[in-house]
Amino acid sequence: MGVRWSCSALAGAVPEAQMDLETTRRSAERFAITRGHGRYFDEARLRLRTEEEGEASRFEVSVSPPSSSSTLTTMDFRDTAEVAEFRSEAAAWLAENAPSFELDETPDAPGADVEKQLEVGRAWMAKKAEAGWACLHWPETYGGRGLERFHSILFAAEESRYRVPVGFFHIGQNFAAPTLMEHASEEAKARHLPRLLSGEELWCQLFSEPGAGSDLAGIRTRAVRDGDVWTINGQKIWTTYAHLADYAILVTRHDPSLPKHKGLTYFYLDMKSEGVEARPIRQIAGTSSFNEVFLTNARIPDGQRLGEVGAGWQVALTTLMNERAGAGSAQNPPSVVQALRLATEIQLEHGPAIADASVRDKLASWYVRSRGLELIHQRTMTALAQGRTPGPESSIRKLVAASQQQDIANFGIDLQELGGSLRDPGDLGLGGLMQQCLLGAPGARIAGGTDEILRNIIAERVLGLPGDIRVDRDRPFDEVPGA
């Protein structure tokens, strides 16, 4: 069966980019190899054509097995009438309302006033909630519209065109809320979900510990029950926005004599309660978005337990599945279009950087890969639109996207030569975006699953390779060396 990819917009967006046939051929070959069709590439047909679709021109890459009877499969990614109507309604509402909530700095910018940004973020969430545009796939009882998750993703894509501060609420709305919906009491849901939706409550995720990150089931924070109250002792780390949060979702170990996955119990915790101390960690970019959190005789009522005692791992999986489903869905900067803009602005010795064939080669290569990522995203969207659970494609998308962002940021810094080492946005191409992205990129390759863990998922779930070795799985946790 033949496979065809159509890549539009790059040439149309910047006519001077004029990718030559050889550059395109090499990019297409690499792309074909990454999609498992490399062995057919010699027989591949590559067409370049210009179409009068408004301003867009496009090139097409067709890769087919060498059978003369092969037929090309074309996928249609145009919006259906219903989706197009929804998208334009969302876009119109955003155009009218979002600009007055836009920030002129990101939380990672040097000297950013994060508390002020949070205030704007809460106001933006409240505005969306009031107008019925928040958490569209949540049930109406909690303030949503009862639509599909698909609609929320479409809305988020439109919203990402504006610099509105939505990141603060990501963990609460996308990880904590679905966990509450599945495991909390009706009373807790009625109390917290509408406040999560409107931005009134900010939630954080107390999972990782100094000795347990990728292997979450290895956590050591202890929960000891005394009647209707649990006492919690331990340390968490890398907790995003813990210093600003109102509540947290928390995984603890209630019984170390059980195997590691079985001795866990899950709670939610009031971050303002006694015995909870968040200490911000200063990051490479100079800001502090995450924290160490010390829990010293912190007390949690049993009513704040989510799931049965000992079912903490199953409840954590609800959270992790929602985290993974969203992983890589956001197109974090820098994008290939931003790199292209920089290459057009920067003057090298012999003219603009974009005139250099090796620069164009890189851009073409990233562009083709970005289109591949978009198509993978379309698969996720199709699965969601059809009511299916997305497969492991979000792991592929996150793995490729995070390292590409790092490569583009490195390239952007190199292009600016000595200017690349400056941090004052006013003096820099794209307002210092590449500098910020370079410092944030290593974190993006760790948060939500490191590269190696994502490769393990792809190996096991996509390629069907044997599972990772897990020798401690069935042993009592307190007998595991180092636990």
Catalogue the active-site residues: 323
Instruction: Note whether 20 binds ligand FAD by CB under 6 A.
Output: no
- Residue 102: strand, helix, or coil: coil
Scan for tokens 């931003």, then name that residue. Answer: 338
DSSP code at position 466: P
**Binding residue for ligand FAD, selected from 239, 287, 322, 406, defined by CB under 6 A:** 239
Shortest Å distance, C-beta 291 to ligand FAD = 9
The answer to whether the CB of 461 falls within 8 A of the CB of 391 is yes
Beta bridge partners of 325: none
Give the binding range for ligand FAD (CB under 6 A) out of 50-58, 81-89, 199-207, 254-262: 199-207
DSSP code at position 172: I
- Judged by beta carbon, residue 239 or residue 318, the one nearer ligand FAD is 239
Give the per-residue SS3 of 403-455. Answer: HHHHHHHHHHHHHCHHHHHCCCHHHCHHHHHHHHHHHHHHHHCCCCCCHHHHH
Closest CA to 14 of 413, 351, 338, 433: 338
Instruction: Note whether 290 binds ligand FAD by CB under 6 A.
Output: yes
Shortest Å distance, C-beta 234 to ligand FAD = 12
**Binding residue for ligand FAD, selected from 231, 233, 288, 456, defined by CB under 6 A:** 456
Instruction: Note whether 214 binds ligand FAD by CB under 6 A.
Output: yes
Instruction: Note whether 173 binds ligand FAD by CB under 6 A.
Output: no
Scan for tokens 């917009």, then name that residue. Answer: 9
Scan for tokens 């079912």, then name that residue. Answer: 311
Q: In this chain, which residue has its C-beta nearest to ligand FAD?
A: 213
Instruction: Note whether 266 binds ligand FAD by CB under 6 A.
Output: no
- Judged by beta carbon, residue 44 or residue 232, the one nearer ligand FAD is 232
Shortest Å distance, C-beta 116 to ligand FAD = 21
- Judged by beta carbon, residue 98 or residue 251, the one nearer ligand FAD is 251
| Distance, CA of 375 to CA of 397 (rounded, Å) | 10
Beta bridge partners of 47: 60
**Binding residue for ligand FAD, selected from 207, 366, 411, 477, defined by CB under 6 A:** 207
β-strands 203-206, 45-53 pairing:
unpaired
Closest CA to 275 of 229, 314, 238, 309: 229
Shortest Å distance, C-beta 283 to ligand FAD = 8
**Binding residue for ligand FAD, selected from 208, 304, 319, 322, defined by CB under 6 A:** 208
The answer to whether the CB of 405 falls within 8 A of the CB of 332 is yes
Shortest Å distance, C-beta 235 to ligand FAD = 12
| Distance, CA of 83 to CA of 400 (rounded, Å) | 28
Give the binding range for ligand FAD (CB under 6 A) out of 3-11, 63-71, 103-111, 237-245: 237-245
Size of the site for ligand FAD (CB under 6 A): 18
Give the binding range for ligand FAD (CB under 6 A) out of 32-40, 202-210, 265-273, 419-427: 202-210
Distances (CA, A) of 97 to 102, 120, 167, 224, 457: 10, 13, 18, 48, 40
The answer to whether the CB of 444 falls within 8 A of the CB of 454 is no
Instruction: Note whether 167 binds ligand FAD by CB under 6 A.
Output: no
Instruction: Note whether 238 binds ligand FAD by CB under 6 A.
Output: yes
Distances (CA, A) of 257 to 223, 250, 310, 475: 13, 20, 12, 9
Considering Cα of 262, then 267, then 273, then 277, what sign does the dihedral take? positive
**Binding residue for ligand FAD, selected from 40, 162, 450, 480, defined by CB under 6 A:** 450
Shortest Å distance, C-beta 170 to ligand FAD = 10
Instruction: Note whether 240 binds ligand FAD by CB under 6 A.
Output: yes
**Binding residue for ligand FAD, selected from 112, 355, 453, 458, defined by CB under 6 A:** 453
Instruction: Note whether 257 binds ligand FAD by CB under 6 A.
Output: no
Is residue 347 classed exposed, middle or buried when 0-12, 13-18 and 19+ CB atoms within 10 A define those classes? exposed
**Binding residue for ligand FAD, selected from 113, 119, 468, 479, defined by CB under 6 A:** 468
Interacting residues with ligand FAD (CB under 6 A) = 204-205, 207-208, 213-214, 238-240, 290, 443, 446-447, 450, 452-453, 456, 468
